[in-house]
C-alpha cells in the first residue's frame, strides 16, 4: 500500500537515473566545494532541470513524481555525497511543497514547472529574533490594492545565495502569509553568511526585504492564515528531507570508517580487530540502520496519506540528526589524523551533522513535540 | 486504517462525516466532543494536530485542502470540517496523490 506504485511503473528507473546523475554531477568534487564554499551554479541548474532537487513534483508539471520513499532514497544518496548539495535539495523541495500546499492552481501551474526547469528556490522563516519561536517573526506582508509589499530581514536562508525565487513567510492581516519573491526584485538584498560551521557550500544567506513591491499574484494562499500551521506544514517536508540527508551522512561515515579500519594496521593487526574500534563500527552501522528505518516509516506514512506522518516525521528527523552527529564523531575518531582536516568526508560529516541537530526544528524542539505526543497517547 | 470504505462511499452525508470525525477526534484527544464545540477554544488543537487533521480529512474523504482553505476557521468545529469536506467533494474532483 505505501509508496512504490505512487511513482508509477518507471519510478525505479527514474530513481536509478537520479542516483547516476547525482554521482556524475558531484564527481568527487564535494571536498573542493566544501573548501571553496561554492557549488558551481551549472551543477545546481542541471540538477534542477532534471527534477532532482524537488523530485516529488508531479509528472504533469514536469517533475519526476517520485514517492516520498523514493525521494528519500535520492536525498540520502545526495547526503552521502555532499551535504551542501543535499541542503540545496531540501530548500528547493520545501519551496515546491509550500507552493503546492498554499498556492492556487494558476500559481502552482506557473511556479512548479520553473522549479523543475532549472530555477532555484529558497525558503525564509528565521529572523534574528525568531528562531525556534517562529511566531515572533516581524517580517510584514502588506496587501495594498493589486500589490503586495514585503518588509523584513530573514537570516540563514539556505540556498538563498543561489536562488532565483525566495519563498518568504511573514505576518499579514492578523495572521500570516507567504509570498514568492523573485530574488531579482528591487529591494531584495542577499548577503551570504560568512564561514558557516557546516554545509559550507549550501549558500546560506541573510536576506533583507526593503519594501519589496510585487503583483498580488505573488501572494500564496490568502492573508491572515495561521502562522504555526503554515510553518508546520512547510517544515514537515524540510524535516523529512533533512532526516534522509542524515541517513546519507551516516552511510558515508560508515563506509569511510569501515574501509579505514579494514586497511590500517596498528599493533600488528587491522584496526577493526581491535575491539574498541570494532565497537565504533558496530555503533555506526546500528545508527545508520535505525535512522534509515525511522525515515522509511515516516515516508511510508506520507505515501499512505496517514496522519501519523506528522509525528513520524519529527521522530525521523530527531533520530537521524542525533545519530548522524554521534556517528560522524565516531567516524572522525576511527580515522583520526587520516580524517581530521577540512574537506575530508568524515570532517565534513562532523560539521554538517551538527548543523542538522539545529535546523528544521532543533533537537530540543523535536523533543518537546515528541514529549507532547507521549503525554497525549499515554495509557 | 479503516478509511477506505468511508472514502469509497458514493453518498456521504453530513451525519456520517460528523460521526467519523467525532470518533477520530475522540480517539486522538481522549475527549468527548460535540459537533459544534470549538476545539481551539478548548485548547485541544496544536499546529501539529491541525496538520494531522488536514491529512486525515484529505485521505479519508479524497479531497485536497490547499491554499485559502487552510484557515483555522475551517477546522474550528466538527461541523465546520464537515462543511469543508462536503464543499470540496462537490466542487473539486477527487485527488489521487499530492
pLDDT of amino acid A5: 45
pLDDT of amino acid A322: 98
Q: What is the mean pLDDT of residues A359-369?
A: 94
Sequence-ordered list of residues with C-beta below 8 angstroms from that of B54, at least 6 positions apart, any chain: A233, B65, B70, B75
> Where do the structural domains in chain A lie, given as residue ranges?
3-120, 122-225, 228-376
B67 in contact with chain A, both atoms CB, cutoff 8 A: yes
For B30-39, write each residue's pLDDT tens digit: 888 899 998 8
Q: Which residue of A has its CA nearest to B31?
A: A376
Q: Do A222 and B51 make contact, defined as CB atoms within 8 angstroms?
A: no
For A3-16, write each residue's pLDDT tens digit: 344 555 578 889 99
A122-225 placed in CATH 3.90.230.10: no
CA–CA separation, B79 and B36 (whole Å): 6
| Chain A: closest CA distance from residue B15 (Å) | 22
For A135-185, write each residue's pLDDT tens digit: 899 999 999 999 999 999 999 999 999 999 999 999 999 899 999 999 999
Our CA angle for A226, B40, B77, nearest 5°, is 100
| Chain B: closest CA distance from residue A328 (Å) | 30
B25 in contact with chain A, both atoms CB, cutoff 8 A: no
Chain A residue numbers touching B49 (CB-CB < 8 A): 310
pLDDT of amino acid A8: 56
**Residue A262: other Cβ atoms inside 10 A:** 13
Closest CA to A347 of A2, A31, A28: A31
pLDDT band at B92; cut points 50, 70, 90: low
B1 in contact with chain A, both atoms CB, cutoff 8 A: yes
CATH superfamily membership of A228-376: Butyryl-CoA Dehydrogenase, subunit A, domain 3 (1.20.140.10)
Q: Do B70 and A228 make contact, defined as CB atoms within 8 angstroms?
A: no
Q: Do A305 and B66 make contact, defined as CB atoms within 8 angstroms?
A: no
| Chain B: closest CA distance from residue A225 (Å) | 5
Binding-face residues of A in 46-85 toward B, CB within 8 A? 56
Class of domain A3-120: mainly alpha
Q: Do A307 and B55 make contact, defined as CB atoms within 8 angstroms?
A: yes
Cell of A348: 565534513
A229 in contact with chain B, both atoms CB, cutoff 8 A: yes
Q: What is the mean pLDDT of residues A61-65?
A: 96
| Chain B: closest CA distance from residue A236 (Å) | 10
Chain B residue numbers touching A56 (CB-CB < 8 A): 98
For A298-337, write each residue's pLDDT tens digit: 999 999 999 999 999 999 999 999 999 999 999 999 999 9
Q: What is chain A's mean pLDDT, rounded?
A: 95
CA–CA separation, A35 and A22 (whole Å): 20
Q: Kindly report the pTM of this predicted structure.
A: 0.93
Q: What is the mean pLDDT of residues A96-119?
A: 95
Q: Which residue of A has its CA nearest to B69?
A: A221
Q: Domains of chain B by range and CATH? A: 13-91 (1.10.1200.10)
Per-residue CA distances from B57 to A131, A194, B3, B6, B61 (Å)? 30, 44, 10, 11, 6
- Residues A192-214 as b/e (b if ≥16 CB within 10 A, e otherwise) read ebeebebbbbbbbbbbebeebeb
Amino acid at each position: 500500500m505505501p509508496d512504490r506504485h505512487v511513482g508509477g511503473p518507471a519510478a525505479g528507473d527514474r530513481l536509478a537515473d537520479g542516483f547516476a546523475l547525482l554521482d556524475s554531477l558531484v564527481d568527487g568534487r564535494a571536498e573542493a566545494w566544501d573548501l571553496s564554499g561554492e557549488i558551481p551554479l551549472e551543477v545546481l541548474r542541471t540538477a534542477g532541470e532534471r527534477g532532482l532537487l524537488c523530485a516529488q513534483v508531479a509528472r504533469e508539471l514536469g517533475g519526476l513524481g517520485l514517492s516520498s520513499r523514493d525521494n528519500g532514497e535520492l536525498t540520502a544518496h545526495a547526503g552521502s555525497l555532499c551535504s551542501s548539495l543535499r541542503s540545496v535539495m531540501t530548500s528547493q523541495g520545501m519551496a515546491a511543497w509550500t507552493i503546492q500546499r498554499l498556492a492556487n492552481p494558476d500559481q502552482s501551474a506557473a511556479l512548479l514547472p520553473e522549479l523543475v526547469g532549472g530555477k532555484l528556490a529558497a525558503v525564509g522563516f528565521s529572523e534574528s529574533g525568531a528562531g525556534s519561536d517562529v511566531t515572533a517573526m516581524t517580517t510584514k506582508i502588506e496587501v495594498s490594492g493589486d500589490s503586495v509589499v514585503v518588509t523584513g530581514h530573514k537570516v540563514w536562508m539556505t540556498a538563498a545565495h543561489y536562488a532565483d525565487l525566495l519563498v518568504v513567510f511573514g505576518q499579514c492581516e492578523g495572521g500570516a502569509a507567504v509570498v514568492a519573491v523573485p530574488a531579482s526584485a528591487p529591494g531584495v538584498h542577499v548577503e551570504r553568511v560568512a564561514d558557516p560551521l557546516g554545509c559550507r557550500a549550501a549558500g546560506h544567506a541573510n536576506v533583507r526585504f526593503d519594501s519589496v513591491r510585487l503583483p498580488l499574484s505573488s501572494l500564496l494562499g490568502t492573508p491572515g492564515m495561521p502562522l504555526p500551521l503554515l510553518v508546520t506544514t512547510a517544515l514537515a517536508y524540510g524535516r523529512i528531507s533533512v532526516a534522509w540527508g542524515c541517513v546519507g551522512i551516516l552511510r558515508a561515515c560508515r563506509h569511510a570508517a569501515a574501509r579505514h579500519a579494514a586497511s590500517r594496521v596498528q599493533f600488528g593487526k587491522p584496526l577493526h580487530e581491535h575491539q574498541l574500534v570494532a565497537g565504533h563500527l558496530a555503533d555506526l552501522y546500528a545508527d545508520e540502520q535505525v535512522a534509515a528505518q525511522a525515515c522509511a516509516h515516516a515516508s511510508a506514512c506520507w505515501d499512505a496519506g496517514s496522519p501519523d506522518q506528522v509525528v513520524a516525521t519529527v521522530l525521523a528527523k530527531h533520530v537521524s540528526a542525533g545519530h548522524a552527529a554521534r556517528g560522524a564523531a565516531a567516524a572522525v575518531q576511527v580515522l583520526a589524523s587520516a580524517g581530521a582536516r577540512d574537506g575530508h568526508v568524515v570532517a565534513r560529516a562532523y560539521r554538517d551533522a551538527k548543523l542538522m541537530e539545529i535546523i528544521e526544528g532543533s533537537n530540543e524542539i523535536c523533543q518537546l513535540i515528541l514529549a507532547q505526543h507521549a503525554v497525549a497517547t499515554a495509557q | 486504517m479503516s478509511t477506505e470504505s468511508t472514502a469509497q462511499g458514493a453518498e456521504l452525508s453530513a451525519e456520517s462525516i460528523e460521526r467519523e470525525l467525532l470518533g477520530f477526534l475522540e480517539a486522538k484527544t481522549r475527549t468527548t466532543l460535540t459537533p459544534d464545540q470549538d476545539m481551539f477554544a478548548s485548547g485541544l488543537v496544536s499546529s501539529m494536530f491541525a496538520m494531522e487533521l488536514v491529512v486525515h480529512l484529505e485521505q479519508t474523504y479524497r479531497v485536497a485542502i490547499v491554499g485559502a482553505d487552510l484557515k483555522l476557521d475551517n477546522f474550528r468545529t466538527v461541523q465546520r470540517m464537515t462543511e469543508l469536506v462536503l464543499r470540496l467533494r462537490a466542487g473539486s474532483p477527487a485527488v489521487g496523490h499530492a
